[in-house]
Amino acid sequence: MRDSSGTVPRLQANFQEPLGGMLVCCPYILKAGHSNLTDYASLRLDYSTQHTDGVSGALIVYPTKRAPAGFPTWDYDLLVQSSDLYHKFSTVLLAQYLSHWGIDGTPGDEPVPDSGTLNGLGQWAGGGDYFNFTVEPNKTYRIRLVNTGSFASIRFSIDNHPLTVIEADGTLVEPYVVSSVRIDVAQRYSVLVQTNSSQADGVFWIRSQLLTRMFKYKLPGQNTDIRGVMRYSNAPNIAALPIASDDPGPGVHKLGDMDTSLLVPAVKDIPPTQTRQYIITATLQNTNENHFLAFLNKISWEPLTDTSTYMHVRNAGLDNSTYAPTGSSLQPGDQLMITEDSIQVVDLIINNLDDGDHPFHLHGHRPYVMGRGVGRYFGQALNEVNPLRRDTVLVPMYSWTILRFVTDNPGLWAFHCHNAWHMASGMLLQINSLPSKTAQLDVPQAIIDHCDALKQGRRT
Ligand SMILES: [Cu+2]
C-alpha cells in the first residue's frame, strides 16, 4: 500500500487519502485501514515532492485469506525499504528542474540522486553505515522489498543467495527463482531466502544498486552501490564486513535476473470483460512558455489549492448537480477526469511516447496488467486468462501497457507516474468513480472544516 491506501483497495475510505488538491485540501491526514488482501505498505505524504525528503515509512497488513495449498512457507519476516537519496531538499531540486534552463542546462533532465539507503542507512564518499540483518542458519526468510524512493529503479540481490519471488504488489505469484529483483519506484515484492550457505564466514552483502538508465548527467561523488549486510548468527566474527567487493552472483550457475513477464499469479484470477476504453498518452515536453512539463493527454496536472476535487464532487452531489460528465473531461484548474457513475470495467490504454520510463500507479484498485509491448497499442492480443494484478507498473520508453480495473470503489483515485519529478510536473489524472455514491460518503467533519478554514485564509 502506497499513499496510505494505494494498494489495499478499501471501499468507502477515499477521503483518507493524503493527496493534496484531490482528496484533502492540505494533506495532513494519514490513516491506514485493515484489509482482507495480502499487502504491506509504505506511508507517504503525497504533497508535491515531500516524500523525497524522507516522509515515508512501512507497515505490513496481514491477510485474512490463506495462501493456496502447497504455497511455500517461511520461518521469519524481514522488511527492506530501498531508496535513492538526495542531499539537497526536494523543493530546491524541483525549482531547478522546473526552471527554464533545467537543473543541468538541459530542460527536462531529472535531478539525479547523490546516493541511496537501505532501511535508512547508506554510504557516500567512503563513509556511512550498513544496515545489518543477523539471521539464523538453515531457515527460510521472507523479505518484503519496497522501493520508497523518488526516481531510481533498484536492483536488489544478496551475494551467494538466490531469491525466490512469491509476491508482487500484494498478489501472490508462483515461486520464481532469480538472481536479482528489479524494483521500480513504489513497487513491492516478496522474496524467500534460504540461509543455507556453507560459506565459513557467513557474512554477505545485500545489494541495493541504483540503476542509472534514467540518469542524464554526472553528479560528482555520486554513489549508486548501496549495501547492507546479512550475517549468519553462527558467523565467527560478529563485526566483520563481507570480504567480496564485486558481486559474486547468487551462487547458482546461470540464474537470471527477474523478468516481470514471467510472474504468474498463484491464484488464477480471470479478468472481467472490458466495457470502456480510454487511451492515455504520456509525454514530457516544453510548453510555449518554455516550461518543461509532463502531460497525460496533453494536460499537465496541477493540484487545486484550498479546495479539492473531492469537495467539488461532494458539493455537486448535495446540490443534485454533477462535477464532471461521464467519460473523459477536463475540469477547471487542469483537472483531467475519467468519470463513471455506474460500475464499469475500464481499460486504460497507456501509450508512452516519451524517451523515459514511467512507473505508473493507480490508487484504490489493483488493476489487471492485460498486456504490454513496444510502440503504440493497435489491437495486439491481451492476456485474458491469468494476468498479473498489481498497482504499480513500469511503462518503458516508447511502449504501451493496458491496465484493467472495475469502477466499484467510490471516490477520486489518482492515476500517476510515481517518479516524483514527473508527478510534480503534472503526470497525473483522476478516476472519478461513482460520484453519486462519493457524495454520500460520511466525511469526517474535521476534513470539511479544514477546507473551509483554508478558504478563509486561516491555517488550522
Ligand atoms: Cu514518469
Q: In this structure, what CATH number is given to the domain that contains residue 218? A: 2.60.40.420
CA of 390 to the centre of ligand 1 (A): 17
Strand partners, 359: 394
- C-alpha distances out from residue 350 to 169, 181, 275, 379, 393, Å: 20, 24, 17, 13, 11
Say yes or no: 285 and 357 in one domain.
yes
Q: Is 27 domain-assigned? A: no
Regarding whether 249 and 299 lie in a shared domain, the answer is no
Distances (CA, A) of 123 to 78, 207, 230: 21, 12, 16
Q: Are residues 95 and 171 in the same domain?
A: yes
- Taking the C-alpha atoms of residue 78 and residue 190, their distance in angstroms, rounded to an integer, is 10
Residues 305 and 160 in one domain: no
Same structural domain, 181 and 204: yes
* DSSP assignment of 15-82: GG--BBTTTBSS---------SS-EEEEEE-BSTTGGGGT-EEEEEE--SSPPPTT----SEEEEEEE
Beta pairing, strands 276-286 & 345-352: parallel
Q: What is d(CA 219, CA 114) in angstroms, rounded to the nearest whole number?
A: 7
Report yes or no: 169 and 392 within 8 Å, Cβ to Cβ: yes
pLDDT at residue 392 tops 50: yes
The answer to whether residues 314 and 417 belong to one domain is yes
Q: How far is the CA of 282 from the centre of ligand 1 (A)?
A: 8
> What secondary structure, in 3-state letters, does 17-31 show?
CCEECCCECCCCCCC
The whole-number pLDDT of residue 44 equals 44
Of the pLDDT bands very low, low, confident and very high (cuts 50, 70, 90), residue 10 is very low
Distance from the CA of 110 to the center of ligand 1, in angstroms? 10
Q: What's the length of the chain?
A: 460
What is the distance between the alpha carbons of residues 78 and 62, in angstroms, rounded to a whole number? 14
For ligand 1, the distance from its centroid to the CA atom of residue 163, given in whole angstroms, is 28
**Total structural domains within the chain:** 2
Tell me how far apart the alpha carbons of residues 293 and 284 are, in angstroms, rounded to a whole number: 6
Same domain, 207 and 234: yes
299 and 169 share one domain: no
The rounded Å distance from CA 358 to ligand 1 centre is 4
Residue 368 CA to ligand 1 centre (angstroms): 20
Question: What is the dihedral sign for C-alpha 62, 65, 67, 69?
Answer: positive
Decide if 37 is inside a domain. no
Specify the DSSP element, H or E, that contains 94.
helix 90-97
Lowest mean pLDDT among 303-312, 320-329, 353-362: 303-312
Please state, in angstroms and as integers, the Cα–Cα distance from residue 300 to each residue in 33, 146, 174, 292, 455, following that order. 31, 28, 39, 10, 24
CA of 448 to the centre of ligand 1 (A): 32
Q: Give burial (CB, 10 Å; 0-12/13-18/19+) of 387.
A: buried
Asked if pLDDT for residue 15 goes beyond 50, the answer is yes
Q: How far apart are the first and last CA of the chain?
A: 28
State which of 237, 262, 287 marks the end of a domain. Answer: 262
For 45-56, what is the mean pLDDT? 63
Q: State the distance from the centre of ligand 1 to the C-alpha of 37, rounded, in angstroms.
A: 28
Distance 97 CA to ligand 1 centre (A): 14
Structural domain includes residue 336: yes
Residue 321 included in any domain: yes
Residue 358 belongs to some domain of the structure: yes
- Residue 397, classed as helix, strand or coil, is coil
Tell me whether residue 383 is in a domain.
yes
**Any domain includes 299:** yes
Q: Contact 237/229 with Cβ under 8 angstroms?
A: no
- Neighbouring C-alpha atoms within 13 Å toward the C-beta of 322: 15
> What pLDDT, in 10s, does the model give residues 191-216?
999 998 787 789 999 999 999 999 99
Burial class (CB in 10 A: 0-12, 13-18, 19+), 125: exposed
- State yes or no: ipTM above 0.90: yes
Residues with a beta carbon under 5 angstroms from ion ligand 1: 358, 417, 419, 422
Query: What distance in angstroms lies between residue 138's CA and the mean position of ligand 1's atoms?
Result: 42
CA gap 389, 378 in Å, rounded:
22
Q: 77 C-alpha vs ligand 1 centroid, how far in Å?
A: 32
Using CA atoms, how far apart are residues 386 and 383, in angstroms rounded to an integer? 7
Locate cell 479539492: which residue? Answer: 308
Helix intervals (H) in 269-336: 309-318
82 and 222 together in one domain: yes
C-alpha 299 to ligand 1 mean position (Å) = 14
For residue 239, what pLDDT band results from cuts at 50, 70 and 90? confident
pLDDT score of 35: 30
Q: Which of 262, 285, 315 is the last residue before a domain boundary?
A: 262
Q: 307: CA distance to ligand 1 center in Å?
A: 26
Rounded to the nearest whole angstrom, what is the distance from the C-alpha of residue 356 to the centroid of ligand 1?
Answer: 7
In a domain, residue 31? The reply is no
Instruction: Kindly state whether residues 151 and 231 are assigned to the same domain.
Output: yes
**Containing domain of residue 341, as a range?**
276-455
Q: 269, 264, 275, 263: which is closest to 384 by C-alpha?
A: 269
Q: Which of 197, 232, 262 is the last residue of a domain?
A: 262
User: What spacing in Å lies between the alpha carbon of 416 and ligand 1's midpoint?
Assistant: 8
Question: What is the 115 CA–ligand 1 centroid distance (Å)?
Answer: 20
Per residue in 117-129, pLDDT (tens digit) is 999 999 999 999 9
Confidence band of 60 (pLDDT split at 50, 70, 90): confident
Grid coordinates standing for 217?
A: 548527467
Collapsing DSSP to helix, strand or coil, 414 comes out as: strand
Q: Say if residue 184 is in the same domain as residue 333.
A: no
Residues 257 and 148 in one domain: yes
